[in-house]
Structures are given as structure tokens and as C-alpha cells.
Structure 1
Amino acid sequence: MRTTLSRYRNIAPQHWRFLANRHDRPFIDPDLGITGLHFNLSHTNGLVTCIVGAIEEIGVDVERRDRDGGLDELAHVVLAPPELVRFTRLPRAAQPEFFFAHWTLKEAYVKARGMGLSLPVREICLDMASPQPTISFATPIDDVPSRWRLWSLRPTEEHIVGIAAASAGEPMSLNIRQSCFIDQN
């Protein structure tokens, strides 16, 4: 993370300092005098993802797509009622892809908000029918759906990445800067 941030500001990796909000979301220590630079990080077996931007409300999540243990139980906890209906109608083999596409976007959203799982994820509903997913909220979540841009990516055969960013009303784009494999052997 430090090396990545050093690509955006002239600070040596070892000089970055971080704090965390009450929900444990890390952010750059304001005493460094850095403005307009925000980040979020996620990892799972085999992949680390990082998002960096000028927008404070950005979030990323990554999961393995080949995991299906306990998805029936998790689906009832994570998916909004309309999503759960769609999930249960899918063939068993298609359920993990559906679940993790939704889960990673929801997790990216709650991370972008800086509130983690204190937000009720069942009250977040995603529409993945178009290339640009959209989001809607039930009453307990005080937010405006139109300000969010979402991306669902498949960087490898095994992984799915969800990205959420709050828009300031202007068009947004996603640029993948670097991707590399680090052999741990």
C-alpha cells in the first residue's frame, strides 16, 4: 500500500502513516498534509486489490469465485429479498458467481462509506442487468443511489472484484494501473 501511494505523492513508502475511523477503515494521517488522495484495500487467497483516487468514498472488495460452502445460509444474510429470489431460481452452478458479484459490490460500498458491516447489507439492492451495475437502498440506509458508480471485474479465473465510488455528479472512469503476480515460493 505504501509503495502504491508513493506513486501518487512524493513520499517514501516508509514515511506514510495511517489512522483508522471508529469502524476501522484506514486513512492517511492528516498530519502528513496530504489532500485529495484516498485508498482502500482488500485481499483474499491469491489476490490483493487496491484502489486509489481523489474521491474520499471509494471501496474495493475481492473474493474467490470458486467458494460455495455455506452460500445458501449466507445468501439469506447478505442478499436483499429481490436478489434472493433471483439467486434461488438460478442453477446451483451459477449461484456462486451471482452471490460473489453481489457480495463484493456490497462490501465495496460499505467500505467506501467507511462504516463497514454496521450498514445492513440486506437493505442494499443491486441491479446487475446492465454493464454498469446500479444500486438502491431500503429506508434504513440514508444515501442517494444516483451518486454511486459500481464496477464488477473478473481479474482472474478464480477472483471477482467489486468497486464502489461516490460520484460528485461528474463522469467517472476506472483505470487499472498495474497488475502483477508475486510468486510466494
Structure 2
Amino acid sequence: MKNLQHAVYLYTAKPETIDLADTKLLNTAEQQRATAFRFDADRTLYTAAHVFLRQTLSQHADIAPADWQFSSNAYGKPAITNHGYEELQFNLSHTQGLLACAISQSRAVGVDVERHKLLHDLANLCRTALAAPETADVLSHCGSDVRTQRFFTYWTLKEAYIKARGLGLSLPLQQFHFEQTDAGEWHLHCQAALQDRGENWQFLSRQVADGYTLALAVQKVGGVNARLTIHECRR
């Protein structure tokens, strides 16, 4: 595997930069999933994301984009099954207007990207989706734009962590929360039932483009942070 020792690579791209003529790279299951979407925009976004994933993975391995093979666990988290590359970890996220993919060796990774949108009844949404300390922080800010941005900061962090753990929403949203330190870093607090500790993870949260929030969760190895490299793909 190329350039992955102690490193995590995070790639972002706009869907319109992906050549949809490359849909031949997708396997039968991916093509069937794309066809099943009711709306053209959703079909195009899904297709672009999975072409992007395959092409990005091939930058780190001597495998052609069309030759990647995947399986999923009981919660839907995908994994690579190509012989000799089972330790290659990845995660994919997409929203209208933006794609994101994280790749590492051996370290669990999760990425989430969300496009900001108008949120009705934000207080109730926070109480459903966030833990109490996160809700209190969101609602303490003045102005709907600031509150919306803060909500998506917490939501993407939680989604990235859930995806990295690979356990889906079996992880209760109220049993873990994030806190930002004075230095601007994000720290995870877990209740004992989750059988995890915040010290096991490193996190990145940032605003990308205009009106998008991205979060990355990376498992530490031996208590050591990974080296993060971020690429914005322009084609």
C-alpha cells in the first residue's frame, strides 16, 4: 500500500468533476443501487461518489479502479476484500455538491460531510440528535446561521465517529458527546456503555467550500495520532 504508513488521506471533490462515463468501473451491485434511485440527482450523486472512491483507492494500491471488491458488516459498513489489501481502511460520504473519502492503513476512519440547510424547530432537533451538552452549546449561540453551523459541526462529528466504529445507530446518540478545547481541538466523551474512550480517537472538523461542514474521525494506534493529508481534487 502506497504512502499510508501512519497516515490518513482525506480527499474531497465536487461531483461535477467526476467523469460519469466511468460508470463502467462500478460493479453490478453498485450499478443496481444507482438504478434504483428515483431521482436523477440522487442517482448521479451516488454514481459520482462511487467512481470517485474507486479511483481514489487506486492511488494507494496497485489495483485498477474496476477491480476493487467490497463486503459490508451487519450495520452496513463497507470493507475491502481484495487479497492482501484487507487492512486498507476507507470511508465515503457525499451530499449534494460535495464528495469526501478518507483512506488509511489499519486505522478505522469515518468521514461525514453535510450541506447546510434551513433547520426547522432546531431546539427539538438538537434534543433528538445531540447529547445534552451539545444541545446546550448550540442553543447558547445567537443568530440562526451560527446555530445552524454549530449544529452541523456536532452532527458531522457524531456521524464520522459512528461510521468509524461501524456500528450504525446502535450507538445511542445521547451516550457520547463532543467538547471543543480552548486550543480548538475536539475531544470525545463516552458513557461506559459504549466501551470506548475519547483518548482512542482524533478528530477534525472544518468548514469546506461555502455552506458545507466536514468531520473526520481517526482511530489512534498505540495512543499516537495519524498524520493527516488533505487533498481537494480538481479535474
Q: What is the TM-score normalised by the length of structure 2?
A: 0.72
What is the rounded CA distance, in whole Å, between the counterparts of 1:127 and 1:51 in structure 2?
A: 23
What is the rounded CA distance, in whole Å, between the counterparts of 1:121 and 1:70 in structure 2?
A: 19
Contact in 2 for aligned 1:39/1:50 (Cα 8 Å): yes
The runs of 5 or more residues in structure 1 that have no matched partner are none
What is the rounded CA distance, in whole Å, between the counterparts of 1:50 and 1:152 in structure 2?
A: 14
Give 4+ residue runs of structure 1 displaced > 3 Å after superposition.
Answer: none
State yes or no: 1:149 paired with 2:149.
Answer: no
Partner of 1:62, secondary structure, is strand
Contact in 1 for aligned 2:188/2:197 (Cα 8 Å): no
1:105-126 CA deviation, whole Å, 9 max, x = no partner? Answer: 0100010001111101111111
1:40-80 CA deviation, whole Å, 9 max, x = no partner? Answer: 00011110100001134100000012432343322011211
Contact in 1 for aligned 2:202/2:225 (Cα 8 Å): no
2:215 to 162, 165, 180: 162
What is the rounded CA distance, in whole Å, between the counterparts of 1:159 and 1:63 in structure 2?
A: 6
Corresponding letter in the other structure for 2:220: S
- Structure possessing the higher relative contact order (Cα contacts under 8 Å, 6 or more residues apart): 2
Question: How many residue pairs align between the two structures?
Answer: 180
2:226 to 160, 163, 172: 172
What is the rounded CA distance, in whole Å, between the counterparts of 1:100 and 1:152 in structure 2?
A: 10
State yes or no: 1:61 paired with 2:89.
Answer: no
Partner of 1:99, secondary structure, is helix
Classify 1:51/1:139 alpha carbon distance in 2 versus 1 (closer, same or farther; 3 Å): same
State yes or no: 1:18 paired with 2:70.
Answer: yes
**TM superposition shift of 1:16:** 0.5
Comparing both structures, which one devotes a greater share of its residues to helix? 2
Q: What is the TM-score normalised by the length of structure 1?
A: 0.90
What is the rounded CA distance, in whole Å, between the counterparts of 1:38 and 1:123 in structure 2?
A: 26
